[in-house]
Homo-oligomer: A and B are copies of this chain.
Amino acid sequence: MNKKHVLALSGGVGGAKLAAGLAAVLSPEDLTIVVNTGDDFEHLGLTICPDIDSVTYALAGLNDTVRGWGVQDETWQTMAMLRGLGEADWFNLGDRDMGMHIARSWRLREGETLSQVTARLTRNLGITQAVVPMSDAPLRTQVGTAEGWLDFQRYFVAEQCRPVATGVRFVGAPGAAPSPAFAEALAREDLGAIIICPSNPYLSVDPILSVDGVRVALAQRRVPLVAVSPLVGGTSLKGPLAKLLGELGKPVSNASIADHYGDLLDHLVIDAGDGADEGGLRARGLCVTVTPTIMRGAEDRERLARVALTAARIKTG
């Protein structure tokens, strides 16, 4: 059997870029992208799945590359009206993006699972790869702070990651089963590699690892597990990872990333700017690839995807 199926685990923007790179260099049937749903939340009666949307927009070529999140050619008229009506405006929702939230919320209320809705909406946008929520059950990331546990979006958007984090927890885990397509991908006979996209290990990847049975399945894997580090030049390119590492008492370095994944990890792809980490990582018995990891466009995404696949011993065309 040609073990060439790739299971990618992804969070939001950074992960979505590598997911789009993998989608560009692999046959559609050879890729399953499992996306973090720990950031999902209910807002104004809508179910919002920021990471699924980031991956979806990236794969559909609809993502805004200048702003770095959301949909390109976006406008903000619905939000302006909601503000005029006295509704909460701390979470900014574009008009095009709103179509996604309305469609998803409507289909969920009609009884579809998040997996079914995601399959429907990604297919209608022309995406041929499997984009899969980690679970159809709610599993919600919360960040511990001096004021108590904050829901992820409250911490990330409303508070802009300002509170000092004392911990991270996942409400609903254990108890959240993997989505059918995630469970299937883990059990595939032709599974060839697992790639952890460059997403925040604590906030974006840990929720996926906290889904029932996933840590055990990954520990028992018979295929390479490659992570692309989200650190670039000793810090996080975007988002709170560097700040969070500091607050959790860990060095802001790839050693912390390697420690975090521990035995799960076979190979870490790190940024060329962090080449100094290489020796220490290798000394732990870890395979390391040093390469530029900033993805500015399609070419960067595809090159990094090929590097990650090579590290995982997956052949690409």
Contacts and interface: CB of A to CB of B under 8 A. Distances in A.
A291 interface: no
A148 interface: no
Given A45-B106, A106-B87, A125-B85, A80 B96 contact: yes
Given A44-B106, A95-B75, A106-B44, A100 B80 contact: no
Interface string A91-108: 000111111101101100
Report the contact-size class of chain A (Cβ under 8 Å from the partner). Answer: 20 to 34
A140 to B, nearest CB: 19
A181 interface: no
Contacts of A96: 77-78, 80-81
A95 B124 contact: no
A95 B44 CA distance: 15
Contacts of A45: 102, 105-106, 109-110
How many copies, total? Answer: 2
Nearest to A81: B99
Contacts of A74: 77
Interface string A183-199: 00000000000000000
A84 B124 contact: yes
A176 interface: no
Given A45-B106, A84-B125, A106-B44, A99 B120 contact: no
25 contacts: A44-B103, A44-B106, A45-B102, A45-B105, A45-B106, A46-B106, A77-B95, A77-B96, A77-B99, A78-B78, A78-B95, A78-B102, A80-B99, A81-B95, A81-B96, A81-B97, A81-B103, A82-B102, A82-B103, A84-B99, A84-B124, A86-B124, A87-B102, A87-B106, A102-B102
